[in-house]
Amino acid sequence: MLSREENELLTRTGLGTPAGAYFRRYWLPALQASELPTPDCPPVRVRILGEDLIAFRDTEGRVGLVDEFCPHRRASLFWGRNEECGLRCVYHGWKFDVTGACVEMPNEPPEYRFNNKIRTVAYPTREYGGIVWAYLGPPESVPELPKIEWARVPENHRYISKRRQESNYLQAVEGGIDSSHTNFLHASLEAFRVTDAYLEAVKNSNNLRAKYHILDKSPRFTVKKMDYGLAISVRRNAEEDTYYWRLTQFLLPAYTMIPQQKGLAINGHCWVPRDDETCWVWNMTWNPDSPLSEDDWKSIREETFIHARVDPATLRPLRNKDNNYLIDRDQQRTKNMTGIHGFAAQDQALQESMGPVVDRTRERLGTSDTAIIAMRRLMLQEIRALQEGEEPFAARHGDVYWVRSAAVLLKRDVPFDESSRDLVGAEV
Amino acid sequence: MNPAHIVTVRDFSPATLAAIAAQLEASTEFEHLVYRESELDAVWSITGFFLAENSVAQDAVARLHETVHRAHDLVGEGRPREAAALLRTLL
């Protein structure tokens, strides 16, 4: 359990909060580059860490990220005209460039213009890996971009999607690192019940997850603190003489890499607080060795795994709280645990059902929650260290993100740490 | 004593508490403290359920429940030996 004070410290990320200050020390995914497809295209709203911002791509292709509200009379710049290297407020014509400088103030008589004294809030941006990243922290402490594998593979080796979740970021991260829920929430009924039909179907499978994941519903967790965050190893019984090991990477401040055996596409997430009660869920599928396969694309199109279709205007999933995630109770009776289609919607349904901000003083945890406990403890340490003046190490050392998740079958007498060393380094 | 080993917590017996206390005394690394916190969480959960299901006054269990909560918080603060000492007062 957490105390009320600890829960508040971890979950509040607005301006002036300790966790907010911590997130602001990192480059954060803000929007997909494709949301600003061309120079002078329409601006888009970006809400991140409780701040309402507008992103626009100027005439020279540079991306600006500025306060949504014009400093003149607080009209929204979403209605602005993106033209000739700036975003012009349509209320009185004030125009701002990507640095936030007010470059024109046409409504004031020339002798009264003071635009050279006006700036709006503007945050630096970088384009990297198909994403526009933003840094909302102190200008004197600009961090490094994370050297994270999915951002560095060729474009046709990756697919990235983004959706809005109506819960605090932390319970979403916890879902991402908790391997044990996958035996239940994401299981078919045949797998959950370990029917003869299921065993027969997976008997000769080369897919370790299909074959072994579901058979041991009580995995053993170990955690290891790393420069980038946490390496979370989960051991399940496989054959009589083997264990099925899965290693999830948790990378600060809020990324995961889902375990996958070598050769298959890897999946991962990044969660960015939108405000205290909503978050952005970024979803990445990538293959370091080859373009995504037809099976990968099928899974993406059919929303079977981490990606979900969204309303393009709001980025809210089409399966959402208002329509009960399109639950099919017949499916729930006969086919899968939830009756909800796709891992993304299943996760979202349960995480949103916990309330906008989970009251962790009321939890009843056990030893299977080790990974979650480790992540919370690490984040609390990091946030408190920053309060004491210590800058986050990972933010300033992008190289530490050059890792990968892993899944492997090992003889029971073989230590996982040594065997996995070759598997967990990124290779692109 | 291997602090990387997670104590099996099925009850709040003296044996379980003693095992956790011994592990606390040997725990120094971040990972060890996480495992100790999870063990104490489990004991706190079990005692909490016990108290909720038993209407007869259970002062001893209530005291244990509260003490384990304090021990848990001490572990979170990086003070495992103090947490161990607190647990040993229950034995």
Model pLDDT, residue A312: 93
pLDDT digits (tens, 9 = 90+) for A358-373: 999 999 999 889 999 9
The residue that leads in pLDDT, A209 or A314, is: A314
B39·A367 Cβ contact <8 A: yes
ipTM score for this prediction: 0.93
Check if A189 contacts B (Cβ < 8 Å).
Answer: no
Q: What fold, for A27-141?
A: Rieske Iron-sulfur Protein (2.102.10)
The residue that leads in pLDDT, A108 or A151, is: A151
Report the range of poorest mean pLDDT among A32-36, A125-129, A197-201, A420-424: A420-424
**Global confidence as pTM:** 0.94
**In the predicted structure, residue A428 carries a pLDDT above the cut 70:** no
For chain A, the average pLDDT equals 94
**In the predicted structure, residue B31 carries a pLDDT above the cut 70:** yes
Residue B75 to residues A45, A178, A226, A284, B40, Cα–Cα distance (Å)? 43, 22, 20, 36, 9
**Which residue among A6, A373, A378 places its CB closest to the CB of B38?**
A373
**In the predicted structure, residue B56 carries a pLDDT above the cut 90:** no
**In the predicted structure, residue A43 carries a pLDDT above the cut 80:** yes
Chain B stretch 41-70, residues whose beta carbon is closer than 8 A to a beta carbon of chain A: 41-42, 44-45, 48-49, 69
Model pLDDT, residue B58: 85
**Which residue among A220, A369, A377 places its CB closest to the CB of B76?**
A377
What ranges do the domains of chain A cover?
Answer: 27-141, 149-420
* Burial environment of residue B53 by CB neighbours within 10 A (0 to 12, 13 to 18, 19 or more): exposed
Report the range of poorest mean pLDDT among A147-156, A195-204, A298-307, A311-320: A195-204
The residue that leads in pLDDT, A112 or A342, is: A342
- State mean pLDDT over A184-196: 89
**In the predicted structure, residue A262 carries a pLDDT above the cut 90:** no
**In the predicted structure, residue A417 carries a pLDDT above the cut 80:** no
**In the predicted structure, residue A287 carries a pLDDT above the cut 70:** yes
Confidence class for position A425, pLDDT limits 50, 70, 90: confident
Choose the CATH number for A149-420 among 3.30.70.260, 3.90.380.10, 3.20.20.140, 3.30.360.10.
3.90.380.10
Using a pLDDT cut of 90, give the percent of chain A over it: 79
- State mean pLDDT over A12-21: 98
**Chain B residues closer than 8 Å to A363 by CB:** 41
Q: How far apart are CA A411 and CA A232, in angstroms?
A: 19
B76·A367 Cβ contact <8 A: no
pLDDT digits (tens, 9 = 90+) for A312-353: 999 999 999 999 999 999 999 999 999 999 999 999 999 999
Contacts of A21 (CB under 8 A, 6+ apart): A137, A383, A386, A387
The Cα of B20 is separated from the nearest Cα of chain A by a number of Å equal to 12
Confidence class for position A213, pLDDT limits 50, 70, 90: confident
B31·A378 Cβ contact <8 A: no
- State mean pLDDT over B12-29: 96
**Chain A residues closer than 8 Å to B74 by CB:** none
pLDDT digits (tens, 9 = 90+) for A120-143: 999 999 999 999 999 999 999 899
pLDDT digits (tens, 9 = 90+) for A217-250: 788 889 999 999 999 999 999 989 999 999 999 9
The residue that leads in pLDDT, A6 or A261, is: A6
Please, what is the angle between helix B30-53 and helix B59-76, to 10°? 160
pLDDT digits (tens, 9 = 90+) for A67-94: 999 999 999 999 999 999 999 999 999 9
Report the range of poorest mean pLDDT among A124-128, A191-195, A418-422, B51-55: A418-422
**In the predicted structure, residue A36 carries a pLDDT above the cut 80:** yes
